[in-house]
Amino acid sequence: MAEQSSDAFIFFGATGDLAFKQIFPALRGLIRDEKFDVPIIGVAKAGWHLEQFRARARDSLDHHGGADPDTLRKLLDLLRYVDGDYADPATFSRLRQELGAAQRPLHYLAIPPTLFATVVEGLAASGCATNGRVVVEKPFGHDFASAVELNGILHRCFPEEAIFRIDHYLGKEPVQNILYTRFSNPIFEPIWNRTYVRRIQITMAERIGVQDRGQFYDATGAVRDVVQNHLLQVLAILTMDPPTGEQSEAVRDEKVRLLKAVRPIAIGDVVRGQYTGYRSVPGVSPDSTTETFVAVQLHIDTWRWADVPIYLRAGKKMPVTATEVWVEFGRPPRETFAEHVSPVSSHMRMRISPDIDIGLGLRVKQPGERMVGKDVELILTRGGAANLPPYQRLLGDALHGIGQLFAREDFVEAQWRVVEPILGDVAPLYSYEVDTWGPQQAARLLGPEGIWLNPAPPALAQAQDTANVQ
**SS3 of 168-227:** HHHHCHHHHHHHHHHHHCCCCHHHCCCCCEEEEEEEEECCCCCCCCHHHHHCCHHHHHHH
Answer whether residue 2 shows pLDDT above 60: no
Highest mean predicted confidence (pLDDT) among 290-304, 343-357, 364-378:
290-304
Residue 230 is among the residues annotated as catalytic for this protein: yes
Closest to 377 in 3D by CA, of 307, 324, 335: 324
Kindly list the distances between the CA atom of residue 229 and the CA atoms of 31, 63, 224, 289, 362, in Å, as whole numbers in the listed order. 30, 28, 7, 21, 32
What is the spatial distance between Cα 438 and Cα 312, in angstroms, rounded to a whole number?
Answer: 13
8-137 and 170-469, same CATH topology? no
Average per-residue pLDDT for the chain: 90
Pairing outcome for strands 8-12 and 163-166: unpaired
State the pLDDT confidence band at 466, using cuts at 50, 70 and 90. very low
Q: Are 8 and 41 in contact (CB under 8 A)?
A: yes
Contacts of 457 (CB under 8 A, 6+ apart): 319, 320, 322
CB atoms within 10 A of CB 341: 14
What is the side-by-side strand order in the sheet with 105-109? 79-83, 40-44, 8-12, 105-109, 133-137, 163-166
Instruction: Supply the DSSP string of 308-327, one letter for each residue.
Output: --EEEEEESS-SS-EEEEEE
What is the spatial distance between Cα 179 and Cα 127, in angstroms, rounded to a whole number?
Answer: 39
Q: Are 175 and 169 in contact (CB under 8 A)?
A: yes
CB atoms within 10 A of CB 300: 23
The domain limits of the chain are 8-137, 170-469
Pairing outcome for strands 466-469 and 373-382: parallel
Class of domain 170-469: alpha beta
What is the spatial distance between Cα 427 and Cα 438, in angstroms, rounded to a whole number?
Answer: 15
Closest to 169 in 3D by CA, of 215, 137, 126, 122: 137
Q: Are 348 and 330 in contact (CB under 8 A)?
A: no
What is the rounded radius of gyration, in angstroms, for the C-alpha atoms of the chain? 24
Q: Are 172 and 353 in contact (CB under 8 A)?
A: yes
What pLDDT, on a 0 to 100 scale, did the predictor assign at position 351? 92
Q: Phi then psi for 444, rounded to 5 degrees?
A: -65, -25
Query: What residues pair up with 272 in beta bridges, in sequence order?
Result: 294, 429
- Which residue would you say has higher pLDDT here, 375 or 29? 29
What is the spatial distance between Cα 137 and Cα 411, in angstroms, rounded to a whole number?
Answer: 15
Q: Of these residues, 107, 168, 230, 299, which one is catalytic?
A: 230
Answer whether residue 464 shows pLDDT above 80: no
Peptide bond between residue 389 and the one before it cis (omega within 30 degrees of 0):
no
- Quick check: helix, strand or coil at residue 412? helix
N- to C-terminal Cα separation, the chain: 44
Homologous superfamily (CATH) for 8-137: NAD(P)-binding Rossmann-like Domain (3.40.50.720)
Percent of the chain with pLDDT over 70: 95
Query: What residues pair up with 9 in beta bridges, in sequence order?
Result: 40, 106
Task: Give alpha helix (H) positions in 64-210.
Answer: 69-78, 89-99, 116-126, 144-155, 173-184
297-354: pLDDT as tens digits: 999 999 999 999 999 999 999 999 999 999 999 888 887 777 777 778 899 999 988 8
145-183: pLDDT as tens digits: 999 999 999 998 999 999 999 887 777 778 888 888 899
The pTM for the full model equals 0.89
Phi/psi class of residue 235: alpha, beta or left (left: φ > 0; alpha: ψ in -120 to 50)?
alpha
What pLDDT, on a 0 to 100 scale, did the predictor assign at position 353? 85
Residue 258: what residue type? L
